Amino acid sequence: MRDVAALAGVSLKTVSRVVNNEEGVSEILVDRVQSAAEKLRYRHNLAASNLRRGQRTKSVALLVQDLSNDFSAALLRAIDDTVRDRDVVVFSASLDEEADRERKLVANFIARRVDGLLLMPASPSQAYLQSEMAAGFAVVIVDRIPHDLSTDYVVVDNVEGANKATTHLIAHGHRRIAFISDDLTIDTARARRDGYYQALRDADLSIDETLIYSARTVEAASAVVTELMASATPPTAIFTARNTATMGAVSALRKLGLQNTIALIGFDEIRMADLLDPGISIVAQDPGRIGREAARMLIERLDGSQDHHHGIILPTTLLARGSGEIRPTSNEA
């Protein structure tokens, strides 16, 4: 800044006012400062400036499980769009369901003075954030319910969505319905399993634990479906409670030539689901709305809201496209 001031022939205070967009500087001096800054390739260090003043850094962190997942990518985009008008930068990283990685990344972002955190937790307890929140740090939990921490959160009704999918398959005549989910140590996976159980009980159907699997990747889900179809009593329908599991199931059924024989409903959208034959029936959540609501809640906290922390639970929507409406053959019903 001193070099810019010297080249522009102005005071250091004038340079400071220009780079911080403060009023009280003539257009002529603004042009001189900006021209000097461009010649010297000067870039304003916003973080350092804000630290000196005790102000915010206009940055937030988003920690999700896998940024390459379509749900997480849509969530990030919605958050970024929501805070853009406030000149807020969103930093993001993947946690890969590793609690230790979560705590390290949170500590790193706090050390870099981000103003707030949007977190899809991998940790079983978020109590470690209590002291930071007591000091004014803003936290919103996304996609999962917070544990041991009173803070704002945004989730979908996973039990209701899974119940809706399973009930839909039962209504189309299915009695042997396989369930393929994420790791059942994860809240959302357990909630979706509970919804699946609830629908079976409501229909007076027994729960067959041999039809329940966990598969985190596309490849693992494909292997599970291949194994299920090779069993002596294969299911007539499959409910995949994770988008990667749905992709794996679609791949396996097509390879086996069963895509028009075995019913399939997935939880969460997959790309080109409506363009396949048959189209893939989905219980859809809205990551865009989740992201917008979470960003709005965070902004309210950053603006000084002292309201009681609360959660938003959003509904799901069943999109019937064909695969979930396949009926079992008469000897399977």
pLDDT for 128 equals 93
Per domain, the residue ranges of the chain are 2-44, 59-155+287-314, 158-286+318-325
Average pLDDT, the chain: 92
Q: What is the pLDDT of residues 247-276, one digit of tens each?
A: 999 999 999 999 999 999 999 998 888 889
pLDDT for 37 equals 87
Lowest mean pLDDT of 45-54, 120-129, 317-326, name the range.
45-54
> Whole-angstrom Cα distance, residue 84 to residue 59?
11
Contacts 24+ apart (CB under 8 A), 80-85: 81/292, 82/291, 82/292, 82/295, 82/296, 82/299, 83/295, 83/299
Nearest residue to 251 (alpha-carbon basis) of 286, 215, 211: 215
**More confident position, 304 or 120:** 120
pLDDT for 40 equals 86
Please provide the distance, in angstroms rounded to a whole number, between the alpha carbons at the two ends of the chain.
78
Q: pLDDT class for 53, splitting at 50, 70, 90?
A: very low
CB 181 within 8 A of CB 214: yes
Identical fold between 59-155+287-314 and 158-286+318-325: yes
Q: What is the pLDDT of residues 183-228, one digit of tens each?
A: 998 999 999 999 999 999 999 999 999 999 999 899 999 999 999 9
> Whole-angstrom Cα distance, residue 258 to residue 326?
11
Tell me which of 3.40.50.2300, 2.102.10.10, 3.40.630.10, 3.50.50.60 is the CATH number of domain 59-155+287-314: 3.40.50.2300
Contacts 24+ apart (CB under 8 A), 303-311: 309/150, 309/151, 309/152, 310/152, 311/145, 311/152, 311/153, 311/154, 311/155
> Whole-angstrom Cα distance, residue 48 to residue 328?
65
pLDDT for 46 equals 52
Question: How large is the average pLDDT for residues 156-166?
Answer: 97
Q: Which helix (H) or strand (E) holds 191?
A: helix 187-202
Which DSSP letter does residue 279 get?
B
- The predicted model scores a pTM of 0.79
pLDDT at position 153 over 70: yes
Which DSSP letter does residue 128 get?
G
Question: Would you identify the CATH topology of the domain 158-286+318-325?
Answer: Rossmann fold (3.40.50)
CA distances (Å), origin 270, targets 30, 201, 207, 242, 245: 50, 29, 28, 10, 10
pLDDT for 49 equals 55
> Whole-angstrom Cα distance, residue 25 to residue 282?
58
